[in-house]
Amino acid sequence: MLIPVVLLCLVFSSTIFAAEGGSAKWNKNSEGTIVVSSGTFEGNGKKYGKIGSGSQDEDQPPVFELMPGAYLNDVVIVPPSGDGIHVHGNNKVSNVTFTDVGEDAISMRSTFEGGTVIIENCSFSKGEDKILQANRTAVWYIKNCKVNGAGKVFRQNGGKTFKLDVYIDGLEARNFGEAIVRSDASACTVYYRNLNASGNKWKGKLSARQWDGKQPPPPTLPEQKTKTVSPFAKANNDSKVTITDVLLNAHYLNTDQVQMYDISGRMISNVHSDRSKPAMLYLMKIKDHHRCEVIVNLHK
């Protein structure tokens, strides 16, 4: 059954829908993050980044936020690179160069239900700790990538047991401290071929198997189906938008600009406190001339 997940996404007053971005629907949130809500953001080799501190601090904003089904192609991410690229499932990241990885490079958040992530022809330099971070059940396919400098290339946190399948076909990894993949989950399986790595490959309870590229078949992505409905529901000073079953990716929001209430009418504050948890939003009051956009994701 097709259960639409409705995502409420704020588009701030000076939103630009420029030629850049190709077929993508995207906007910049108040933190400067480029939120790609659907389609493919074509960067044409341009530089993005200069966000956050580039340190190991958590809670830095990402440079790109790829909503479920959104793709990113051909960008260079320059420091400070903040929290890199956030993915949510059924995303493709291709031809992306990180010249100096920040807290991490690509992480799947736990806001949505996960899905497949393909990372193709990307290179990651100067990472201190993690390059790829899995916070949700998913299939990851790492294809023709290079890492130069990392603690671990791929990390599922200790104490986490959710299922992960990690396919590696073509990875050159240099100057990493701990392992290519570190996971304590026995439900984490790595299938690999064409791996050129100079150190310890695996750490933890995962199982790693040589892969012939055919069995299991390489992961694929579903057709890009994310569709925007109701182009813009305009909200003026005092309007309240009432939507049920809204899953809100809370860290888009700047509490100075938006007041949110839960279903009992209690104001929700401090929405930044845990970026990995979605907030259920039922009532929303939007100040000034900000607009809101409702997106129905047909993958769900």
Residues found near ligand ADA in the complex (CB under 6 A): 58, 103-104, 107, 133, 135, 157, 276
Q: Can you give 259-297 as a three-state secondary structure string?
A: EEECCCCCEECCCCCCCCCCEEEEEEEECCCCEEEEEEE
The answer to whether 171 touches 142, Cβ cutoff 8 Å, is yes
* 276 interface partner picked from Ca ion, ligand ADA, none, CB below 5 to 8 A per type: ligand ADA
Q: How far apart are the first and last CA of the chain?
A: 8
Q: Considering the complex, what minimum distance in angstroms separates the CB of residue 133 from Ca ion?
A: 6
Nearer to Ca ion, 73 or 107 (CB): 107
**Residue 147 Cβ vs ligand ADA, minimum distance, rounded to whole Å:** 17
23, 147, 218, 63: CA torsion to nearest 10: -30
User: CA-to-CA distance for 293 and 33, rounded, in angstroms?
Assistant: 17
Nearer to Ca ion, 77 or 260 (CB): 77
Question: Which one of Ca ion, ligand ADA, none is in contact with 245 (Cβ closer than 5 to 8 A by kind)?
Answer: none
Residue type, 94: S
Nearer to Ca ion, 272 or 285 (CB): 272
Rounded Cα distance between 200 and 184, Å, is 16
Binding site partner of 40, from Ca ion, ligand ADA, none, Cβ cut-off 5-8 A by kind: none
CA distances from 238 to 67, 140, 193, 244 (A): 28, 44, 57, 19
Q: Which does 91 bind (CB under 5 to 8 A by kind): Ca ion, ligand ADA, none?
A: none
Closest approach, Cβ 99 to ligand ADA, in A, equals: 20
* Sheet with strand 240-248: strands edge to edge: 227-234, 291-297, 5-11, 240-248, 279-286, 258-261, 267-268
Rounded CA-CA distance 229/214 in Å is 39
Token pair of 136 as six digits: 């949700």
| Smallest distance, ligand ADA to C-beta of residue 84, A | 9
Beta carbon nearer to ligand ADA, 104 or 169: 104
Choose the one of Ca ion, ligand ADA, none that binds residue 157, judging by a C-beta under 5 to 8 angstroms depending on kind.
Answer: ligand ADA
Which CB atom, from 21 or from 54, has the smaller least distance to Ca ion?
54
Strands 227-234 and 291-297: antiparallel
Neighbours of 66 (CB within 10 A): 30
Nearer to Ca ion, 83 or 169 (CB): 83
Residue with tokens 């007053």: 13
**Rounded to the nearest whole angstrom, what is the least distance from the CB of residue 292 to Ca ion in the complex?**
27
Q: Which does 135 bind (CB under 5 to 8 A by kind): ligand ADA, Ca ion, none?
A: ligand ADA
Looking at the Cβ atoms of 42 and 103, the one nearer to Ca ion is 103
CB of 104 to ligand ADA, least distance (A): 5
* Sites of contact with Ca ion (CB under 5 A): 83, 103-104, 107
Least distance (Å) from Ca ion to the CB of residue 58?
Answer: 5
